[in-house]
Structure 1
Amino acid sequence: MPLNQLMQTLQGLTVWVLPVLFAITLHEAAHGYAALLCGDTTAQRAGRLSINPLRHIDPFGTIILPAIAYFGGGFLFGYAKPVPVNFRALKRPRLDMIFVAFAGPLTNIVLAAISIFLFSHLTPTMPQWAQLFVAKNLHNSAQINLTLAIFNLLPIPPLDGGRIVTGLLPPRLAREYAKLEQVGLLILLALLVFIPMLGDRLHMDFNFLMPVIEYPYEWLGSILVNLFG
């Protein structure tokens, strides 16, 4: 591969990987800090109350999966090692479960707002040689954090939205709903990969998940741009 092409590939990869890396690691760290505020020290004892990405990296979910998605032109997605939370150690288990679960998506929304603000107000003042690189990182950071926040709020265990729903339901229904966590990953894989692939074979659009993410993404994105852009 020619040197110029290699440098372009590395730069293109960097402006996606860096935002993904910080979005998913700060998302997980937020869960740990929220759990600590609610009385659970599990994440603290595990050394996960850190904004150091190395503490949260999952080799497959943080590195390999986003790289495959990037080079394959697919849905850019990744995840970090889940922060351990002992929900029984929380002061108010049901209410605190909602708070701990929502802390991750809320962190991503805040990061998206910061990225939009810096993109609008910082990059125009930067030297020309750095402006494009920083602007791409901030633009991608806003997109990735918004997508990650909305995706994680889907009401499917083990996503944060599933945990929020579990905390809101009456105890009996909550126990039954929480059992979906055993097959939640299979449901997500089906919605993200297998059903859209079947639709492609049949020349039909079976990508049911994208509109569910797209409309809240556009709504929330427009609000953040109006407030911080």
Structure 2
Amino acid sequence: MSLGPRRDTVAGIPREAFRPSVVFLCLVALFLTSGWMTWAEFGNVRLDVFLFVVSGWLVSLCIHEYAHAVVAFAAGDRNVAHRGYLTLNPLKYSHPLLSIVLPVVVVLLGGIGLPGGAVWIDRHEIPGRLRHTLVSLAGPATNVVFALLLVIPFAVGVDAMAHHDFWAAVALLCFLQLTASVLNLLPVPGLDGGNIIQPWLSPQWKRGYDILAPYGFILLFALLWNPRIAGWFFGGVDAVGNAFGLPEWLRDDGFDLIRFWS
């Protein structure tokens, strides 16, 4: 005789599907350890900053994709749990190259928080346009929250010259979150910003959107490759950062520091 749902399951899914993975916990441990090493100027500080920024960026990517998945799960898509998306394990993503490797390379080469395609959501399992929009909005919302948290020390006037390298790394992480927030909210077909508005388009516009969606990344790169558009983009991000008190010079110092090989 059944006495109700098993205690080791959630909505019929094993609890293991909801527990943070060892991979994610190791990333968090690396982020905290390298942060302490940067603060204490332990060993090669440029390498410390590199590890701190890259691991911090990877942790934020994991949480960004987790936000998509957990909202999708709440909205009705149980498959995200079966695929391992709720364990925050980046190795479970459908496109680890686009979601992990490419964003890190772009961070190192261009100092920009590039959005990546990762978790696959079964949209047919989610009823209602608002739910679809919330699923797409959940990821960029985490970038906005991270940016606001990271900018707090500078907004309250922290002495950035004390533990300069640490605060330079924090400033760079904040800038990356700002760029990711803006990029993820741009209405580019196939990316989060486009997916936010897609449910509300007319059938005719949806057909055009679906045609362009597979080329969203290419379209984004093409836009940023244009010097004028890139200038507008970075000028806008800098304006937002300046409004919240993020020092541009400190961010630039952070970018110089992560290139420990130069």
**TM-score, length of structure 1 as denominator length:** 0.72
1:38 to 47, 59, 75: 75
Q: Which residue of 2 aligns with 1:152?
A: 184
**Is it true that 1:168 corresponds to 2:200 in the alignment?**
yes
> How many pairs align?
201
In the alignment, does 2:217 pair up with 1:185? Answer: yes
CA shift, 1:138, in A, is 2.4
Tell me which residue corresponds to 2:130: 95
Matched, 1:85 2:117: no
Distance 1:164 1:65, change over 3 A: closer
Q: Partner amino acid for 1:66?
A: V
**Bigger mean CA offset, 115-124 vs 156-165:** 115-124
Cα deviation, 1:6-46, whole Å, max 9, x if unaligned, reads 92441342243123212222111110111112111222111
Give the letter aligned to residue 18 of structure 1.
S
In structure 2, what is the Cα distance between the partners aligned to 1:7 and 1:64? Answer: 26
The alpha-carbon distance between structure 1 residues 117 and 220, as it changes in their structure 2 partners (threshold 3 A), is: same
Q: Does 1:214 align with 2:235?
A: yes
**Is contact 1:42-1:84 (8 Å) kept?**
no
Query: 1:209 is aligned with what amino acid?
Result: A
Larger Rg: 2
Aligned ranges 1:21-32 → 2 under 5 Å = 21-32=58-69
Give CA deviations for 1:104-156 in whole Å, capped at 9, x if unaligned: 111111111111225666976xxx6xx44542332222111111011011111
DSSP-derived class of the 2:139 partner: helix
How far apart are residue 61 of structure 1 and its match?
A: 4.5
Matched with 2:112 is: 76
Q: Equivalent residue for 1:109? A: 144
Give yes or no for contact 1:65–1:78 (8 Å, CA) kept in 2. Answer: yes
- Looking at structure 2, the residues matched to 224 and 50 of structure 1 have their Cα atoms a distance apart, in angstroms, of 33
Gaps of 5+ in 1: 1-5, 197-205
Q: In 1, are the aligned partners of 2:90 and 2:100 still within 8 Å (CA)? A: no
Q: Distance in 1 between matches of 2:102 and 2:188?
A: 24
Deviations 1:155-184 (A, max 9, x none): 112111111221221233223222211222
Change beyond 3 A, Cα 1:38–1:61: closer
SS at match of 1:179: helix
Aligned counterpart for 2:172 among listed residues 123, 140, 154? 140
Which secondary structure does the structure 2 equivalent of 1:156 belong to? coil
Contact 1:166 1:174 in 2 (8 A): yes
> What secondary structure is seen at the aligned counterpart in 1 of 2:76?
coil
Question: Is the Cα contact below 8 Å between 1:19 and 1:144 reproduced in 2?
Answer: no
Provide the TM-score with structure 2 as the length reference. 0.64
Note if contact 2:150-2:171 (Cα within 8 Å) is conserved in structure 1.
yes
Quick check: 1:66 aligned with 2:104? yes
Shift of residue 64 of structure 1?
A: 5.5
